[in-house]
Amino acid sequence: MKNKIDYSSDWNLDPAPESTGHIKLKNKYDLFIGGKWVKPKSGKYFATINPATEQKIADLAEAGQTDVDAAVKAAKKAYDTVWSKLSGKERGKYIYRIARLIQEKAREFSVIESLDSGKVIRESRDIDIPLAAAHFFYYAGWADKLEYAFPNRQPKSLGVAAQITPWNFPMLMIAWKIAPALAAGNTVVLKPAETTSLTALKLAEVIQEAGLPDGVVNIVTGYGKTGAMMVEHKDVAKVAFTGSTGVGKIIMKAIAGTNKKSTMELGGKAANIIFEDAPLDQAVEGIINGIYFNQGHVCCAGSRLFVQESVYEVVLRKLKDRMESLYVGNPMDKNTDIGAINSKKQLDVINNYIKIGKAEGAEIYQPKCKIPKKGFWCKPTLFTNVAQSNRIAQEEIFGPVLAIQTFRTVDEVITKANNTPYGLSAGVWTDKGSKIFNLTSQLKAGVVWANTYNKFDPTSPFGGYKESGHGREGGLHGLEPYLKFD
């Protein structure tokens, strides 16, 4: 290419770190059971670290069988004696109170979220925490309107919900789970992901402050083993899980033949489709938001990019240019676009896929950005010369790695987009309305964004087809999995 834009400049931004002095964290966290902090009977604790610095932040209790039993028992008791007897209006008041407290402490929540997960403060401050509060507000509103939500059907609560949340949007996913469960009249035992439990524990403090009756929400920390104990517990009526498809399958096997209801929010390998008549500069912004949002740790990430062949060169050029102005590094800096990879383990997974991509003959591109020495980092990465049969185009990488393919016709791209075991989300970029409707009706994905990507709202249901899971979270649809009907 004869002309190349040079993005280097002698005018560069100075660090703009968000202050962390105002947050209150304990050195050691116990389990939150029956409205109280209790020491784990297992006696075990594990460390949670800041993935950007590898420094320990706090020790967390590891819940064993006795602890899980105690948590479920507390939830069952709260359900039988208090929560199921309370009117929807009263439940709603508690949920509103939690929402308001999250809003009041939004800054503290977002700083803790970024320290614990490696996600950039811009996102935790502007997306994760405000959206989490919005979910509580939204479902608080449903609590006293359940009777009208499902015409000609009488909804009833289920009992104790076992909820297991992932590490990519720790606080937000907790809100997605707890808010509808409480609105529907259930009580909760929640296990946050082991690498990102701090906002859950902070939420436990908010729940205490809100005066929620003891045992309505119990939060136990630990690894997958702890989650398995919850899933298998006989007094659990409902299992809600967000995480990998692999673990989702294990859970579904475990509850097969029981009466437990389930919601599974699993993996994805979304197609983001750019037609030649799309607003290309904005499509490029959508590609960036689609794959590099939250370091690509997003189940609905637009990780498979399909570009119509006639605009392939220009889209690639624009994309590469845009990547030059992404800031990678300290998540606490307000200017950072891409933060730290959540854990060493996940970094290994991503690096392994990058290796696979190269071995498969795909061409790698990464911008010139520098990354810090300590901590877990991956430059924003894209692969060109990718085939539909490449593993990097088929398997969920869960990192900032984009696989780009070209297509020629609408039918071809629909076939390729649906040619995956997953079906969580997709994106379509075109200036033509009819094309959007054609694709949205043919793409087998729970969410399809048109001329935008990764937009979320509490009123909008979210969930997958095929191996991306079942059940919906958000919106009116998100209530149903927490209710039964006569």
Partner 1 sequence: MAEKDYKLSPRVDQVGIQDRVDRITKRSVKNEAKRKGLYMALNMIDLTTLEGADTDFKIKQLCYKAQHLHDSFPGLPTTAAVCVYPNFVKTAVQEVKGSGVKVASVATAFPSGQSSLEIKLLDTKIAVDNGAHEVDMVISRGKFHSGEYNFVHDEIAAIKEACGKARLKVILETGELGTFDKVRRASDIAMDAGADFIKTSTGKISPAATLPVTLVMLEAIKDYYYETGKMIGMKPAGGISNSKLALQYLLMVKETLGGKWLTNEWFRFGASSLANDVLMQIMKQESGNYQSKEYFSKD
Nearest distance from C-beta of residue 272 to partner 1, angstroms: 13
CA–CA distance, 443 with 185 (Å, rounded to integer): 35
Q: Which stretch binds partner 1 (CB under 8 A): 55-63, 156-164, 333-341, 409-417?
A: 333-341
Let me know how long the chain is: 486
Minimum distance between the CB of residue 379 and partner 1, rounded to whole angstroms? 18
Cβ closest to partner 1, residue 48 vs residue 308: 308
- Nearer to partner 1 among residue 247 and residue 300 (C-beta): 300
Nearest approach in angstroms of CB 159 to partner 1 is 42
> Considering the complex, what minimum distance in angstroms separates the CB of residue 24 from partner 1?
25
Decide if residue 457 touches partner 1 (CB under 8 A): no
Nearer to partner 1 by Cβ, of 126 and 147: the residue is 126
**Among residues 126 and 363, whose Cβ is nearest to partner 1?**
126
CB atoms within 10 A of CB 325: 11
10 near partner 1 (CB under 8 A): yes
Stretch 201-220 residues interacting with partner 1 (CB under 8 A): none
Exactly one of 118, 286, 302, 423 binds partner 1 (CB under 8 A); which one? 286
- Binding-site member from 66, 87, 325, 352 for partner 1 (CB under 8 A): 325
Round to whole Å and give the CA distance between 177 and 7: 43
Rounded Cα distance between 92 and 119, Å, is: 31
Span from 8-16, 171-179, 188-196, 384-392 in contact with partner 1 (CB under 8 A): 8-16
Identity of the residue, 235 or 285, whose beta carbon is nearer to partner 1 in the bound complex: 285
The question of whether 299 is a catalytic residue gets the answer: yes
Least distance to partner 1, CB of residue 313, Å: 10
Strand partners, 240: 163, 263
Residues 437-456 interacting with partner 1 (rule: CB under 8 A): 451-452
Is 401 a binding residue for partner 1 by CB under 8 A? The answer is no
The residue count for binding partner 1 (CB under 8 A) is 36
The residue annotated as part of the active site, out of 18, 108, 299, 480, is 299
Closest distance of CB 280 from partner 1, Å: 6
CA 203 to each of CA 63, 106, 109, 276, 482: distance values in angstroms, whole numbers, following the listed order? 18, 11, 9, 46, 21
Which strands sit side by side in the sheet containing 469-470, from one edge to the other?
36-38, 31-33, 217-219, 187-191, 160-164, 236-242, 261-265, 469-470
Closer CB to partner 1, 16 or 47, in the complex? 16
Q: Please name the residues in contact with 459: beta carbons below 8 A apart, sequence gap of 6 or more.
A: 138, 474, 475
Q: Is residue 256 close enough to count as binding partner 1 by CB under 8 A?
A: no
Asked if 266 and 464 count as a contact pair (C-beta separation under 8 A), the reply is yes
Question: Does residue 283 touch partner 1 according to CB under 8 A?
Answer: yes
> From the list 34, 130, 213, 279, which residue makes contact with partner 1 (rule: CB under 8 A)?
279
Q: Which helix (H) or strand (E) is 216 found in, with range?
A: none
Q: CB-wise, 151 or 433, nearer to partner 1?
A: 433
Asked if residues 6 and 36 have their Cβ atoms less than 8 Å apart, the reply is no
Task: Return the residues of window 334-353 that contact partner 1 according to CB under 8 A.
Answer: 334-335, 337
The Cβ of residue 13 has, within 10 Å, a number of other Cβ atoms equal to: 9
Q: Which is nearer to partner 1, 195 or 295 (CB)?
A: 295
Q: Could you give the CA distance from residue 134 to residue 131 in angstroms, rounded to a whole number?
A: 5
In the complex, what is the shortest distance from the CB of residue 17 to partner 1, in angstroms, rounded to a whole number?
9
Helical ranges in 279-387 per DSSP H: 280-292, 312-324, 344-359
The encoded tokens of residue 190 equal 């929640």
The catalytic residue among 18, 265, 467, 480 is 265
Instruction: Answer whether 332's CB lies under 8 Å from 121's CB.
Output: yes
Q: Rounded to the nearest whole angstrom, what is the least distance from the CB of residue 15 to partner 1 in the complex?
A: 8
The answer to whether residue 113 is catalytic is no
Residue from the set 144, 232, 321, 395 that interacts with partner 1 by CB under 8 A = 321
Whole-number Å distance between alpha carbons of 103 and 116:
19
Q: Mapping DSSP to helix (H, G, I), strand (E, B) and coil, where does residue 449 land? A: strand
C-alpha Rg value of the chain to the nearest Å? 22
SS3 (DSSP) at 221: coil
Beta carbons within 10 angstroms of residue 319's beta carbon: 24
> Pairing between strand 217-219 and 304-308?
unpaired
CB of 429 to partner 1, least distance (A): 8
Q: Which of residues 417-436 bind partner 1 (CB under 8 A)?
A: 431
Show the site string, 94-133: x = touches partner 1 by CB under 8 A, - = not.
----------------------------x---x-------
* Cβ–Cβ < 8 Å for 168, 266: no
Q: Quote the distance between the C-alpha of residue 208 and its chain's center.
A: 25
- Provide the 10 A C-beta neighbour count for residue 433: 9
Task: Show which residues are catalytic.
Answer: 265, 299
Interacting residue ranges for partner 1, rule: CB under 8 A: 1-3, 5-16, 122, 126, 277-283, 285-286, 289, 317, 321, 325, 334-335, 337, 431, 451-452
